[in-house]
A and B are shown apart, each in its own frame.
Chain A
């Protein structure tokens, strides 16, 4: 079974729901671990990496939560397979560039993913929809606890888990969440939020796009420091910050709709107009417009739209996801045409936006946080 079949046969994170998933697309906790007696993957020669992979992979496959998992050596995956895993945020770009001596194990629900011989021998992560950083930490903590019985981890009492890069030393933990913040961007408040969050020792990055621009208004918040604090403290701090950001985004949405409803409706209406009628669209433009449409869905301006439709399109319009539906290699221009065809087709069932949120509908309950 190749990656595409495995992913299609099993529900992806985009179709799943979680708490606060209007704003928090997903939560992730990643642990970095290494095994004593092997050089780190970046320094080890090929035979040593292969040996490490052979020692680690069976131990990972044996874990109960990974029963029936997809497991593969990186050199057995095609470039397209790897790219699809990257677009689903299941493996890193760095890992996609690996081949002999590296591997990946992914559970059926696509909530647990173990990269073997990325920068460290083990990069294991738990990925859950919505705001669930605590649950994600518990899930990966358990896997780590099971794995330490089979593998001799490199650990020093003073320095904690030893990692290839000293920036991950200690707990080896990276807690992160993907946030959709269109209203904070429209209200031009997002830079203030980013600065405030930076001051708390957390990093904020645009998830897609280059430099400082955040395509699709999607931001990733994560901890930077891994040494000198417990995992629980780091998880709690991020959880608190995320709740505050959610509150700010909710406030920004409510205040925009009260003070500048025409501006918001204009953006959303135009986004729908282009997405529903374009015959060529780049992934960059698609993402920015889909973000506005998602905001429209959140504001109940698209009563006929499935909530998950836009989230799915976010993933399906990415280059590798488009490419996999076609056997011949597509150029960027061909992809733009096919992307537009697919989006038009998916939006046929969605009526144009209403100009006022539906009264007494699903709105007030879902937007309970907005005041």
Chain B
């Protein structure tokens, strides 16, 4: 069995990690395992290592044949990702967005952020959510021919839109 990384030497280090119901396996030669810090358990995660292997193929597959994608912001390429398993800059997530979801699926619980949002963005998001809810209520009122409520909702919506516009342009 050849080493997954260099594909030259015989693999002597075999790693298996089970997270949830996913089993991941990596076979490495002595030199690559040292280089990747496999012998230092505090700084080593199999997921990190796998990134440079199978997972990056997802990104590769998604790209057009022959033409290598390159991040316009920082010049990072697919082969750089394959080597390091890390991106070059925040913009890379946009550049390499094709295939990213498949990659994220292999390592995370979901593919959509559910946690904390910076306060400045939270205001914008809340305003958007409010508009959506009001629009829904308005549609419902109109469908039910409750024009009194509809008129009130329309005013509210107009007011919220004006305010929301201020937030997003400020």
Residues of A near any B CB (own CB < 8 A)? 34, 36, 38-40, 42-44, 92-94, 119, 141, 144-145, 148-149, 153-162, 164-167, 169-171, 173, 195, 198-201, 203, 205-212, 220, 224-231, 233
By the criterion CB–CB under 8 Å, are B41 and A165 in contact?
A: no
Interface size on B, residues (CB 8 A): 45
By the criterion CB–CB under 8 Å, are A162 and B20 in contact?
A: no
By the criterion CB–CB under 8 Å, are B89 and A228 in contact?
A: no
Knowing A170-B108, A228-B114, A231-B115 are in contact, say whether A159-B93 is a contact too (CB < 8 A).
yes
Residues of B near any A CB (own CB < 8 A)? 17-21, 39-43, 45, 47-48, 51, 73-74, 76, 80, 84-90, 93, 100, 103-104, 107-121, 125
- What's the least CB distance linking A175 to chain B, in Å? 12
CB-based nearest A residue for B103:
A166
By the criterion CB–CB under 8 Å, are B47 and A167 in contact?
A: yes
Can you report 27 residue pairs joining A to B where beta carbons are below 8 Å apart? Answer: A39-B74, A40-B89, A43-B74, A43-B87, A43-B89, A92-B42, A94-B43, A149-B119, A157-B125, A161-B116, A165-B85, A165-B87, A166-B104, A167-B107, A169-B108, A170-B114, A170-B115, A201-B19, A201-B20, A203-B17, A205-B41, A207-B41, A227-B110, A227-B113, A228-B112, A230-B114, A231-B116
Knowing A38-B89, A166-B104 are in contact, say whether A224-B19 is a contact too (CB < 8 A).
yes
Partner of B116, one of A40, A141, A206, A212: A141
Chain B residues within an 8 Å CB radius of A145 = 119
Partner of B39, one of A156, A162, A211, A225: A211
Interface centre among A43, A119, A225 (most CB of B within 10 A): A43
Chain B residues within an 8 Å CB radius of A42 = 84, 86
By the criterion CB–CB under 8 Å, are B51 and A167 in contact?
A: yes
Chain A residues within an 8 Å CB radius of B85 = 165
By the criterion CB–CB under 8 Å, are B48 and A165 in contact?
A: yes
- What's the least CB distance linking B11 to chain A, in Å? 16
A200 to B45, CA, bound (A): 17
CB-based nearest B residue for A167:
B47
By the criterion CB–CB under 8 Å, are B118 and A159 in contact?
A: no
Chain B residues within an 8 Å CB radius of A162 = 90, 93
A285 to B93, CA, bound (A): 46
By the criterion CB–CB under 8 Å, are A34 and B90 in contact?
A: yes
A233 to B54, CA, bound (A): 29
By the criterion CB–CB under 8 Å, are A167 and B48 in contact?
A: yes
A144 to B21, CA, bound (A): 33
A233 to B112, CA, bound (A): 15
A371 to B89, CA, bound (A): 53
Chain A residues within an 8 Å CB radius of B120 = 148
- What's the least CB distance linking A58 to chain B, in Å? 20
Knowing A145-B119, A206-B41, A227-B113 are in contact, say whether A199-B18 is a contact too (CB < 8 A).
yes
- What's the least CB distance linking A7 to chain B, in Å? 20
By the criterion CB–CB under 8 Å, are B45 and A203 in contact?
A: yes
